[in-house]
Amino acid sequence: MRKINRIIAAGLFGAAMLVSSAADACTNFLFTKGATKDGSTMITYAADSHTLYGELYYRRAASYPAGTMFQVVDWDTGTKLIQIPQVAHTYSVVGNMNEHQLAIGETTYGGREELAKEIEGGIDYGSLIYLTLQRARNAREAIQVLAGFMKDYPYHSEGESFSICDPNEVWILELIGKRPGTVKPELAKKLKYKYTDGAVWVARRIPDGYVSGHANQARITQFPQEPKKFQKAKGKGLHQAISSLHMDYLYEPEVECVYSSEVITYARACGWYDGTDADFSFCDTYAPLTFSGLRGCDARVYAMFNRVASGMQRYEKYAMGDATAERLPLWIKPDHKVDVREVMNLMRDHYEGTTMDMSKDLGAGPFNCPYRWRPMGFEVDGHSYVHERATSTQQTGFSFVAQCRSWLPAKVGGILWFGVDDTYSTVYTPMYCGITEIPLCFRQGNGDMLTYSETSAFWLFNRVSNFVYSRYSDMIKDLQKVQTDLEEGYIADVQKFDQRAKGSEGEALERQLNDFSGRAAERMMKEWNNLDRYLLVKYMDGNIKKERDGRFERTATGQAAFPEQPKYRDEWYRMIVKDHGEVIREK
C-alpha cells in the first residue's frame, strides 16, 4: 500500500533511507498447498496506513451492455484517472477475494527514483487488483488480465509487489511503471528498442511446499528465461519460463515464470543494466537494496521465516540492514506444515525472539509496549537512529488471511479471514467469498476516519487497542484470551458449516453464507464490546482490580477490594533515577 510520499519516506530512516522503499506500508505472506496442514493455499495482507479506514469492500457481480465504460479511480486519493471499456460480465468480490477463490494482495516498494513519480491517467495499483478480481477466475488468468492492462494502458503508481493465489497455486508478481524521458536515445537506437507497454514485470510461481513473503521491498532477483526459439509443441522442450510474447503458453502447468518482453531491454535502453540476460536481477535493477529496504521491509519477511523454519538466524544481519550479508531467499521450505490459526499468528509479530525485539528496550516504556509512534527515524547528538517497523503496527486499516480450499465448491471454499486495526489485537472473522451482504460492522460507509460509529468494528477495535497500549504487558493477556476463544471457535464452526453448506446452491447457499458470516461478525462485536468495558473497569487509573472465579472481588461489606498496584519494571526505575535521581532521592 502506498500512503506516504516517497520524499517523506526518504526521511523516515535518516540519511541512509532512499526513495526506493516505503517504510509505512503493507505486509504479505504466501503459503502453498504443500506447506499447509489441510492443503489449502493462503496469502495474508496488512493494509497499513495512517489514513486508511478499515472496512470490507464489496463489488456485486454484474452484466454490462456493449460500449459501457468504467471510470478508473485512484484507490489512495479518490482522483479520477482514465476510462476503460467494461467487460460483459464481472465476478463478485468480497474484500480482496472473488467468488472463484482468487485472492490478491500487494505491497508498494517504490523503486528507482526515476520511476517513482506518478503520471497522469493510467491505472493505479489498487484498481489493478480490484479490476483483475472482477475479471479473472484463477491466478494464471489474473496474470494475463493484469499483463493486458499494462500492455494497453500506462501504469499510474510506483513499484508494486502482488501476491496472487487460487485454490491450487500461489504466485508473486512484481511490477514497475515505465516513465517518459528515462530511455536514452542513443541506447534505444543501438538496441532497436521501441517504447510500448506501460510497465515491466516478472511473475513467479511459489514452488509447492514452500512459503514466501514481501513487505515493501522488491524480492525477485534472477529468474528463468525462455530460449531464443520457443518450442511451440507441448511436451517438446517446453521451458519453465515464458515472456508476454508467448502468453498462450501461460496455462501450461510446466510454466512457472512469466515476464514482460521488455523487462531487460527497457533497463538496457535506460542505461541501468549492461550485463548478460542470464544475470539480470529485477530487484537489483529496478529497486536496488537500501538500508531501509532491508531493516524496515525485508526484516518483516525474515521474522516470519524465522518462526516457521530453523537456521534462519544466518539472515539476521541482512535483515538488520547489512546488504553485504547473506541475502534472504525469495522462498523457503518450512520445518512443519502450518494451519490457518498459525498463519493468523504469523501476522502478529514485533520481532519477538530476534535482536530487534521491540518489547525489550526502554522505548517499550514501563509496560513493554512494542509500538513506537511516528516518525520512525530520529537523531540524537548528531547520530541517526531508527524505530523498528514490524508486521504488527498501530496504523493498520484492515488485514486478512485469504484461504482457498480446492476440495469445496468455490463460494464455500474461499474464506477471507478479515480483521481491522492492529494485527496483534484484531480478530480474524470468517467472511465466505460467496456472501452477498457485508455485516454492518464492516460495511462501507459505516463511519470513516473522521466520523465515529458505535456499530463500526474499526472504531471499536481502535478504542480497545489504544487503551491496551497504555498498560500493554498486563492488558494484552486479557485481550488474547478473548481473541483466542473467538478465532478457535470460528475455526471449529467453519468445519461444521462447510459440511452443511457444500450441498447447497443458488439463493439458498447465499442465505446460509450471509447468515454464518453475519452471525460471526455479530459475535465478535458483542465479545469485543464486553472486553472494552471489562478492561476499563479492571485497569482504571493505573490500578488492577482483583478477581476470583471470574468476578471482581468485593469486601465483606460489598465494597470493591483494594486493587493491586504492581511496580514498574526495574529497567524503567533505573532510567528514572539516571534522569532525575538527584531530585527525587530520599534524603
Assess whether pLDDT exceeds 90 at residue 359.
yes
Going by pLDDT thresholds of 50, 70 and 90, the confidence category of residue 4 is: very low
Q: Give yes or no: residues 172 and 216 share one domain.
A: yes
485-507 mean pLDDT: 96
Going by pLDDT thresholds of 50, 70 and 90, the confidence category of residue 194 is: confident
Burial pattern 364-386, b for ≥16 Cβ within 10 A else e, equals: bbbbbbbbbeeebbeeeeeeeeb
Q: Give yes or no: residues 532 and 557 share one domain.
A: no
Assess whether pLDDT exceeds 80 at residue 243.
no
Q: Give yes or no: residues 538 and 571 share one domain.
A: no
Q: Give yes or no: residues 314 and 437 share one domain.
A: no
In a domain, 391, yes or no: no
Assess whether pLDDT exceeds 60 at residue 343.
yes
In a domain, 178, yes or no: yes
Going by pLDDT thresholds of 50, 70 and 90, the confidence category of residue 1 is: low
233-258 mean pLDDT: 71
pLDDT tens-digit readout, 392-424? 999 999 999 999 999 999 999 999 999 999 999
217-245 mean pLDDT: 68
pLDDT of residue 234: 47
Question: What are φ and ψ of residue 386, in 5° steps?
Answer: -130, 150
In a domain, 193, yes or no: yes
Query: Mean pLDDT of all residues in the chain?
Result: 92
In a domain, 401, yes or no: no
Going by pLDDT thresholds of 50, 70 and 90, the confidence category of residue 195 is: confident
- Grid coordinates standing for 79? 482522483
Q: Give yes or no: residues 552 and 506 share one domain.
A: no
Going by pLDDT thresholds of 50, 70 and 90, the confidence category of residue 463 is: very high
Q: Give yes or no: residues 315 and 362 share one domain.
A: yes
pLDDT of residue 240: 61
Beta strand segments in 250-405, E: 257-259, 331-332, 377-380, 383-386, 396-404
Question: What are φ and ψ of residue 200, in 5° steps?
Answer: -115, 150
- Chain centre distance of CA 99: 21
Going by pLDDT thresholds of 50, 70 and 90, the confidence category of residue 21 is: very low
66-85 mean pLDDT: 96
Total number of domains in the chain:
3
Q: Give yes or no: residues 551 and 538 share one domain.
A: no
Assess whether pLDDT exceeds 60 at residue 259.
yes
Q: Give yes or no: residues 552 and 530 share one domain.
A: no
The length of the chain is 587
User: Of 251-260, 416-425, 486-495, which gets the smallest average pLDDT?
Assistant: 251-260
Peptide bond into 375 cis (omega under 30): yes
In a domain, 284, yes or no: yes
Q: Give yes or no: residues 438 and 535 share one domain.
A: yes
In a domain, 110, yes or no: yes
Q: Give yes or no: residues 465 and 380 share one domain.
A: no
Residues 349, 305: contact at Cβ < 8 Å? no
Q: Give yes or no: residues 266 and 142 share one domain.
A: yes
In a domain, 392, yes or no: no
In a domain, 403, yes or no: no
Range of the domain at 207: 6-386
Q: Give yes or no: residues 217 and 249 share one domain.
A: yes
**CA pair distance 348, 345, nearest whole angstrom:** 5
- Chain centre distance of CA 88: 31
**CA pair distance 410, 402, nearest whole angstrom:** 13
Q: Kindly report the number of other CB atoms within 10 A of residue 545's CB atom.
A: 15
